[in-house]
Structure 1
Amino acid sequence: MKRVVFILGVLEDDDVDWLIEAGQRQELQPGQVLIREGEPCEHIYLILDGGLEVTVAALSAQPIAHLATGEVVGEMSFVDSQPPSATVSALETSIVLAISCTQLRHKLQQDIWFASRFYRALAILLSSRLRSTVKHLQGEHWRPVASLNDAGLDEINDMLSMGGIRFDWMLKRLRDVNSNPWEDLDVDSTD
């Protein structure tokens, strides 16, 4: 399950349009650092294609996580204004959508309904990550949803489904036919 669907499932189509318009598509080469531990992070990134690696200096820069298409990076620093607690770099040629934190904060101040949806989406995403960490510590694999009552499960499933549709739509809109790096990109959101 791609975690970006938590965000895109809560946002509306106009919100996704704004992210596409405001974002900058960036191609990363293997080994290129996207976020450096302890240094200010000026963007939130949506991984559109490829794979990234997360390392921390305290563990001798050993990988602690691998991130793939559909992951969100930089959101923690956006929320708490603290420097990143890890370094994120490309494992392979990767494409991200970089959304300026300054521009995003301005949008959030100007559009209260967007802000409401965006912060709710971040809360769901971060809650899911925390639940995932707890399950991982218990020896279970990541699952996007904790035990919910039937009404909560239906709402989450609807949100995830809509988020997957919007992610596919976002990928298709951002595909650059001229440079052709995504010609064979599989945009199946069911991973």
Structure 2
Amino acid sequence: MRKALYIFGLLADADVELMARLGRKRKLAPGDVLIKQGQVLDRLYLLLDGHMDVDISGLGVVATLSSGEILGEMSFVDSAPTSATVRALDEVSLLELRKDELEARFASDPALGMRFFKAISVFLAERMRSTIARLGYGGAASLASEELLEDELDEGLLDNVAIAGERFSRLMRLLADAPEA
């Protein structure tokens, strides 16, 4: 859930409502593959509930994701084939957002596009910091790490934590009765 706070802290209330309207709710059973390594992906996923493993050929499982994570974000940004296979560990609930539908909205509302891509950028930066820290390079710490001092956190991010949590909760309420794709 902590990762969702980075994203929803930078979006507006209307953006969250738009995501709920545009998105399709999906469920996966344990063992189901959502993304295959090397696949060209035309959508983005928000993990609402459950756990998923990220497996890279030749390396094995490199991460286990939980509620609030974004999947397919790198391919969404650069349109390159996916870099990992993502598989459900247990029953999973996702919000699927199609790239073409989001891009059409960004074209008509550039401010929405700016907020969305800034949120993705902050999310990717956090993921990169976590990876660097896990690999032991340069003693870097992630925003999710307890190693950071309070004054090292971005003040804007801290101010938005409560708002972000409420936005994620609102998205969950809006999707509660949504039909599954």
Q: TM-score range with shorter-chain normalisation?
A: 0.7 to 0.9
1:40 to 2:40 alignment: yes
Residue 85 of structure 2 aligns with an amino acid whose one-letter code is T
Number of the residue aligned with 1:137: 135
1:162 to 2:163 alignment: yes
Q: How is 1:9-158 mapped onto 2 (pairs within 5 angstroms)?
A: 9-59=9-59, 62-138=60-136, 143-144=143-144, 150=151, 153-158=154-159
List 4+ stretches of structure 1 deviating above 6 A: none
Comparing 137-146 and 149-158, the one that deviates more: 137-146
Does the CA contact (< 8 Å) of 2:76 and 2:99 recur in 1?
Answer: yes
Shift of 1:147: 5.7
The DSSP-based 3-state class of the residue aligned with 1:3 is helix
With structure 2 as the length reference, what TM-score do the two structures score? Answer: 0.88
Q: Percent same amino acid at aligned positions? A: 35
Does the CA contact (< 8 Å) of 2:143 and 2:153 recur in 1?
Answer: no
User: Whole-Å Cα distance in 1 between the matches of residues 129 and 141 of structure 2?
Assistant: 11
* Matched positions, count: 177
User: Whole-Å Cα distance in 2 between the matches of residues 84 and 105 of structure 1?
Assistant: 19
List alignment gaps of at least 5 residues for structure 2. Answer: none
Number of the residue aligned with 1:175: 176
1:7 to 2:3 alignment: no
User: What RMSD, in angstroms, separates the aligned Cα atoms of the two structures?
Assistant: 2.5
User: Whole-Å Cα distance in 2 between the matches of residues 177 and 19 of structure 1?
Assistant: 12
User: Whole-Å Cα distance in 1 between the matches of residues 151 and 63 of structure 2?
Assistant: 32
Residue 94 of structure 1 aligns with an amino acid whose one-letter code is V
Shift of 1:177: 9.0
User: Whole-Å Cα distance in 2 between the matches of residues 115 and 22 of structure 1?
Assistant: 15
